[in-house]
A and B are shown apart, each in its own frame.
Chain A
Amino acid sequence: MNAEDELTAAQAALAGEHACVYGYGVVGAHLSDDAETAARALQAHRDRRDDLAALIRAGGGEPEASAPTYELPQPVTDAASASKLAVLMETRLAALYADLVGAAQSGELREFAAQALVAASVARGRWGGEPVAFPGLSGRPGTPGTQASPTPQTPSDTETPESPQ
């Protein structure tokens, strides 16, 4: 691991936070009972996004901006699909932070990443995700074609959403 790996992992985690901020906006819009929980989650991700951007800047990097819009990995039409998206986002984010724990060169960044990994795991459970033994390390949806968080949208890969059950 070197400074370049560290910056790459930090930027990837930041991109994940950008995606979560977008995604929780969508999640919140489909929740009536848990709207407050979604609003708190949204704020938590905004805070972490800003903290991580500051850490990247402090390390001499230029934090990447968010994408103008994101493609959802699955259509969100109701409370159930909204919760499912939240679980997927936190699962994916946990993997990014596990990578950052390993790549961090400073104790400060490693601690930030470890706490963020813990937070993602707890949040995942709050949205109904079954606990796993190694959050972020096993069953990570990082293989191509199984993106679990909103991905920056390009016009060519827009698909027709499946109709809700």
Chain B
Amino acid sequence: MVTGVTNTVDVRRRRLLICLAGLPMLGTALAACADDAVPKSAPGHRLDVDMDVKVRWRAVEAERALLGLYAATLTAHPGLSDTLAPFTARHTEHLDVLVEGGPLPFSASDPLEPPSPGSADVPADAAAALAAVAEAESAAAEARVADCLAASGSRFAAVLASVAACEAAHAATLESA
């Protein structure tokens, strides 16, 4: 099913939608493909990549959780869709790069289980809901900096730091909104 994967944006987007439902399985399939593709995660060091599997998985799970929070927030507050759409788009980009950047482990959880959108408690007040998202972004940024320090691959570390930087800017922007 994932043979003939190309790098066109459309395919990547479509694959991402699939990823939301079946991420670990697809991640493994992509990892197999990635062996002879451009190694985005770490330049040259296969061992580093293997050591970074857990870190990558943690970051992927965090991105899925954030996307789930945004989805739940939009369900509760449809009026925020214009405001939040660019934010979710950037998280989708993060997830895209993190999933494609290297191998992911098999997960103990059901690979077909979606990233629990709607399960988050969303405040009834829109401003409070935005504040909750800002708080989650801020926490995610701190966690990605910690992941950056734990990463072995230098390129992967830079990606994690960049994701953290985006999320910190998200938090600041939402706080001042």
Residues of A within 8 A of B (CB): 1, 94, 97-99, 101-104, 107, 110-111, 113-115, 117-118, 120-122, 124-126, 131-137
Task: Indicate which residue in A99, A114, A134, A135 contacts B148 across the interface (CB closer than 8 Å).
Answer: A114
Asked if B84 is at the interface (CB within 8 A of a chain A CB), the reply is no
Q: Which residue of B lies closest to A99 (CB)?
A: B158
Given contacts A1-B43, A122-B169, A137-B162, 4 further A-B contacts (CB under 8 A): A98-B161, A101-B158, A104-B154, A125-B173
Q: How far is the CA of A98 from the CA of B162 in the complex (A)?
A: 7
Task: Indicate which residue in A1, A104, A107, A131 contacts B169 across the interface (CB closer than 8 Å).
Answer: A131
Residues A102 and B162 in contact in the complex (CB < 8 Å), given A124-B169, A126-B172: no
Task: Indicate which residue in A101, A125, A132 contacts B157 across the interface (CB closer than 8 Å).
Answer: A101
Contact A134 B166 (CB under 8 A): yes
Q: Which residues of B contact A111 (CB under 8 A)?
A: 145, 149
Contact A114 B93 (CB under 8 A): no
Contact B164 A118 (CB under 8 A): yes
Contact B166 A121 (CB under 8 A): yes
B142-173 vs A, CB cutoff 8 Å, 1 = contact: the mask equals 00010011000011011111111110111011
Q: Which residues of A contact B163 (CB under 8 A)?
A: 134
Q: Which residues of A contact B154 (CB under 8 A)?
A: 1, 101-104
Contact A113 B173 (CB under 8 A): no
Asked if B56 is at the interface (CB within 8 A of a chain A CB), the reply is no
Asked if B54 is at the interface (CB within 8 A of a chain A CB), the reply is no
Q: How far is the CA of A125 from the CA of B163 in the complex (A)?
A: 15
Q: How far is the CA of A110 from the CA of B159 in the complex (A)?
A: 13
Q: Which residue of A lies closest to B165 (CB)?
A: A121
Residues A132 and B161 in contact in the complex (CB < 8 Å), given A111-B149, A118-B141, A125-B173: no
